[in-house]
Amino acid sequence: CGVFGCYHIPDAASMTYYGLHSLQHRGQEASGIAAEHDGEITVLKGRGLTVDVFRKPELASLEGVNAIGHVRYSTAGGAEAANIQPIVSHSSRLGDVAVAHNGQIVNEKELRRELEEKGAIFQGTSDSEVILHLIRMEEGTLEERVKKAAARLEGAFAVLVEGEGKLFAFRDTHGLRPLSTARFQDGWMVSSETCAFEVMGIYDSETVPAGGFCTFEDGILRRSSYREADAPRVCAMEYIYFARPDSVIEDVNVHKFRKETGRILATGDDVQADVVIGVPDSSLSAAIGYSEASGLPFETGLVKNRYVGRTFIQPTQEMRDRGVRMKLSPVKEAVEGKSVIMIDDSIVRGTTSRRIVRLLREAGAREIHVRIASPVLKLPCFYGVDISTKEELIGHRMTVEEIREYLEADSLRFMTPEQLRFAAGTAGLCTACFDGSYCTDLYSYSEVLSN
Ligand code: 5GP
Ligand code: SF4
Ligand code: MG
């Protein structure tokens, strides 16, 4: 998912709309904006892309200088309407409060049970509702309540809260999910990714540190923390796949990271090949890095139909299979009669790579050497990426040689988790889905690992 917020910015809802549009790659399932005007929060949200959910007159009805928005990619908590964010609570005692969240709270079940015992009534199954109820049940000023709620959460989260004319933003103590702030005119913007700032012409932004808390109040931003930071562990998948190449996470540019993974893959690779190709869009940077380091020419071997959503997002395997065909076409001219190095960012179920190998063979490629710009995915993620069981992961069920056979590739290589950490340079990485190094207690999710 992606979150975007505006504080003290005229026509905040429209600006949030542009922000969400730049974060669309983080989720295409649903989109929502909650704007505050004189203490009243109005929310508009629905299924689909940001451009489909909002029309100009509706956006104009969202008045106010503060707004928060969300694009959704469903992980924990299904696709039902009650889970579409932002989630708003209207209370005569506490006023209107809205929450938007990216990530996954690992102690969600425990918190939900505790809150229900105290009388909270839940509408849906999303983590964000748990955050909202925690805020409502705590004591003190809104800032104090949001801080106390934040301190109860475990797992991965970048959260925006709006109410009483204020905005709050905080990030989990490991910094698993990205979040940055930037100055805009007389106000501030806060975004999951910095690419959304650059679209607005802002090139100066600051990372919200792990465990960091931002209070936007009285026209200013006050930085503090709600808990001590743990060792930083940005989700490796943010760099590998999720984020846009122009974004910067923890001072590391995503494109640069991906190029580095390609460079590392090329080092010591003695395969005889003619060209290097990447699977658009997320693997192009890695393919360029491989090409530069190996001296082999980079080719446009595959073309993407930009009007098909990300295949992984489709709900069934059948739809995913069909999705790959609709989405990618080989460029015969670039691969015919050639030995091809095909770079993809990751293998989850194996659907994409297998399909692409076939497409390239059909287009006349002589040999296809698959290089994956990440390690073998073996374990589920409990931090907000939709890899929820071990069984769905081809890397859990098969050895690298068995995967190669399944893909019908001439050779196959992955990176090691150490190489991935090296590519990240100064940024500390979470690599749990590759090597089991989960950085938090997993609470009820630990059952998923043990059986
Ligand atoms: P597979 O087809 O092996 O199941 O999935 C891997 C492909 O899906 C890659 O090409 C990758 O770019 C894409 N992909 C889409 N969503 C995700 C995601 O959430 N995580 C990962 N690792 N890859 C994804
Ligand atoms: Fe990202 Fe994998 Fe860690 Fe999940 S387990 S946060 S996908 S690196
Ligand atoms: Mg891909």
pLDDT of residue 57: 86
Q: Which residues are within 5 Å of ligand 3 (an ion), measured at CB?
A: 279
What is the domain partition of the chain in residue ranges?
A: 2-230, 254-450
pLDDT recorded at residue 387: 84
Looking at domain 2-230, its CATH architecture is 4-Layer Sandwich (3.60)
Look-up of token digits 């589920």: 380
Kindly provide the residue ranges of all beta strands, DSSP E only, lying in 78-150, ordered along the sequence: 87-89, 97-105
Nearest to 360 by CA among 352, 399, 348: 352
Whether 235 lines ligand 2, by a CB cut-off of 6 Å, is yes
d(C-alpha 155, C-alpha 128), whole Å: 13
Q: Which tokens hold the place of 289?
A: 């890095």
For every residue of 258-290, which 3-state class applies, written as one string? HHHHHHHHHCCCCCCCCEEEECCCCCHHHHHHH
HEC string for 59-95: HHHCCCCEEEEEEECCCCCCCCHHHCCCEEECCCCCC
Whole-angstrom Cα distance, residue 134 to residue 146? Answer: 8
Query: CA-to-CA distance for 340 and 275, rounded, in angstroms?
Result: 5
CB neighbour list of residue 176: distance below 8 Å, 6 or more residues apart: 103, 155, 156, 157, 233, 234, 235, 383, 384, 430, 439
pLDDT along the chain (451 residues), means of 10: 97 97 94 97 94 90 97 70 91 92 96 95 90 95 98 98 98 98 97 96 96 97 97 97 96 97 96 97 96 98 79 57 73 97 96 93 97 97 89 95 98 97 93 97 90 67
Contact 15, 50 (CB under 8 A): no
User: Cβ(271)–Cβ(341) under 8 Å?
Assistant: yes
Peptide bond into 230 cis (omega under 30): no
283 Cα nearest atom in ligand 1: 12
ipTM: 0.94
Element (H, E) at 368: strand 367-372
Between the CA of 391 and the centroid of ligand 3 the distance, in Å, is: 20
439 labeled part of a ligand binding site: no
pLDDT at position 327 is 80
Q: Which residues line ligand 1 (CB under 6 A)?
A: 237, 241, 279, 282, 310-312, 344-353, 385-386
Rounded Cα distance between 141 and 148, Å, is 11
Q: Is 345 annotated as a binding residue?
A: yes
106 lines ligand 2 (CB under 6 A): no
pLDDT at 236: 98
Which residues participate in catalysis according to the annotation?
Answer: 1
Position in ligand 2 atom list of the atom nearest CA 431: 8
The answer to whether the 2-230 and 254-450 domains have the same CATH topology is no
Residue 355 is classified by DSSP as: H
One CATH from 3.40.50.2020, 3.30.70.1140, 3.40.190.10, 3.40.50.740 for 254-450: 3.40.50.2020
Q: What is the pLDDT of residues 6-30, one digit of tens each?
A: 999 999 999 999 999 999 999 989 9
CA-based nearest residue to 129, from 80, 164, 177: 80
pLDDT of residue 309: 60
> Is 383 near ligand 2, meaning CB less than 6 Å away?
yes
Two structure tokens written together for 441: 């207690």
Looking at the CA of 279, which ligand is closest?
A: 3
Concatenating the DSSP letter of every residue in 290-351 gives HHHHH-PPB---EEE-TTS--GGGSSSHHHHHHHHHHHEEE-HHHHTT-EEEEEES--SSSH
Separation between Cα atoms, residue 185 and residue 426, nearest integer Å: 31
* β-strand pairing of 180-184 with 187-191: antiparallel
Q: Cα(351) to centroid of ligand 1, in Å?
A: 9
Paired strand residues for 41: 36
